[in-house]
Structures are given as C-alpha cells and as structure tokens.
Amino acid sequence: MKDLIKQLTEAYGPSGYEHAVRNIIRQHIAPHADSIEVDALGNLHAVKNGGGNGLTVMLAAHMDEIGLIVSQITDEGYARFSALGGVMPETLIGSRVVFTNGALAVINIDDWLFHERPDRSHRTLYLDFGVSRRQDVPVRVGDVAGFERPFVDLGQTMLAKSMDDRIGCAILVETLRRLENSPHRVHFVFTVQEEVGSRGAVTAAYHVHPDVSIAVDVTDSGDIPKRKNFEVKMGQGPAIKVMDRQLLAHPGLKRAMVETAKKHKIPHQLEILTVGSTDATAMQLAHEGSAAGGLAIPCRHVHTPSEMVSTSDVQHGIDLLLALLAGPIKLD
C-alpha cells in the first residue's frame, strides 16, 4: 500500500487542480468498483453494490491539498502569492513549489527577522524563480502551485507533503479493494476543493443522497510539545469523531463505530476538534440530512509541507471501515 501512498502524496493536486490525483485513484479502483463516474465539479464516484437490504453509505476523502496562487509579478522577476486553503506563512520559508507547467520556485521573506515583524502574513513572502526580469518569470497571475516534497517511508511512520488528505484517499482505495459481501450500497467518493470550503462534498452528497456519511481525513496530533487539551495521539489508532468546529457527529453512528472497534479489538481514539472541520459537515446537511461522522488519522505537522502519520493508524483505519461495512449499522 505504501507504493500507492507515495504516488498519491507526490502527485500535484492543489484545490481545483485534482485531475492527476483522480487519474491515479481511478486506475487503482477500476477493477473493483461496480460503477465509476466523474461529476461536473470533478468528484470521483465509485460504487460497490451491497448484497442485502442495507443502507446507502457515503465514504468521502478529499483529493486536494493546500497550495498557492500567484497574485502579482514584480519587475525584478519575483512573484507575490495568496493561499489556497489554510497555508500558515511561518511554515513556508525555504519551501519549494511547483506549477502545472513544471516551473519551480523557492519561497523567501522580505526581511529575515520574521519573528519581529508585526505583519506575519503571506504579503511578506515571495517566490524566487532564479531570474531577474519580469519577462523571464515562467508563470502568470492566477497560476497555481503545489509544494514539492518527496514521500519518505520511516517504517512506523510516513512523511509527505499532502497526507491531508491523500492518506484518506489511500484508505478508501484499499477499503474498496477488500470489501466483500456488505449489505450496504457503498459510495466511495473522492472529493475536490475541501480545503477551500468542502465544495465537492456538497454536490457529491446531493447526488448520492446517503443514509450514513463518513468523512475519512486527518486530524491534529496531541503528542507534540505544548499541544494542550487534545487527547488524540499518533500511533494509538484512528480517531472516531465526536465533534469539530462545525459538526456534532451522529451519536448512533459514533456508537456503532466505537462498538465495532471494540468488538474487533481495533485500537481507536475519540476526537473532539475545536479548530477545523471536514467533508462530513456538507454530507450531514445535504437534502434532509444524513447520519454523519468521521474517521481521522492523527497527523503531526498538519497543513505544512511535511505531514507525518503512523503506518499502524492507517491499517487500523482500514480494518475499522471494513468491519463496520460488513454488517448492519445500527443507528438507534
């Protein structure tokens, strides 16, 4: 599975430009899905039909990653930019980015005394292409960049630029490949534009009209220095969502996921996230609503160019989804 994770995390795919990621996923799931389609917004829908009178279940993982968009070209040959998604400026200095045309640039700051500046926004940062004239800059205003970092296998952990949420995509691919004899009709949806407002999940959920919705994403990790009031820790199992900034998970679905994990002796945690949300919010509110929740992989350094997850958390996340989908999902 690590070969798939390497392909997905190294692929170019900022919000709105997910086509390369979608093509990789489609190649891997085509032999295993009963039907596959791409909607007008770019979401990839794969369906596995159930063998009984089960529910319509929607599993969602977003294909896009955070990125940058060029807002100005200077006469000296540099470029200013804005963020696509939650890009933290203090994590960017020295990072390399790549554009759709293959152009590479390094990010730097106007003044090295970054910690002393009152303005710590993206306005103090610029892209350097190694040229000295406007006409030699290989990109234009409106062009989009993604971060350039390789996947690294550290054994018990994995490191890459876009674990958020290519690791969720990999979990859905593997779950689809291994799922057999489920009573439910399961929609595996790989969504677009989550980082800029869960836009793909909105249209996808209206199309699927699910009874049960589960977003598979990453979450913060509470085992880093000075991280307070957050119980989730990397390496102690996937986190079952209780709530986040926009969602209260359906109590029956949360209970079903916890009971399934306990029954099958799958390590798990409970997540209460006070900052951020996932595609589950959009799925919960589509049509007359659905029983929505989330399964999250603890991730250190989330929303930076180097995100880290535990290999065992990923495997246990797959195990939990397969066990949950194997039988009835009792919501009451």
Contacts of 111-118 with CB under 8 Å at 24 or more apart are 114/90
Q: Residue 276 burial by CB count (10 A; 0-12/13-18/19+): exposed, middle or buried?
A: middle
CA dihedral 215, 163, 261, 187 (to 10 degrees): 40
Question: Which DSSP category does 52 fall into?
Answer: S
User: Residue 22 contacts by C-beta under 8 Å, 6 or more apart in sequence?
Assistant: 38, 42, 44, 63, 190
Return the half-sphere exposure (C-beta side, CA atoms, 13 A cut-off) of residue 10: 11
Contact 267, 315 (CB under 8 A): no
Q: Is 76 a catalytic residue?
A: no
Q: How big is the chain, counted in residues? A: 332
Q: What is the DSSP letter of 238?
A: P
The catalytic position among 10, 65, 194, 195 is: 194
**Would you call 215 helix, strand, or coil by DSSP?**
strand
d(CA 292, CA 250): 6
Interstrand relation of 239-243 and 269-272 (parallel, antiparallel or unpaired): parallel
What does the alpha-carbon distance between residue 184 and residue 323 come to, in Å, rounded to a whole number?
A: 12
Q: Which residue do the tokens 């009152």 mark? A: 118
Q: What is the CA radius of gyration of the chain?
A: 20
* Cβ–Cβ under 8 Å, residues 37 and 191: no
Q: Indicate which residues carry an active-site annotation.
A: 194
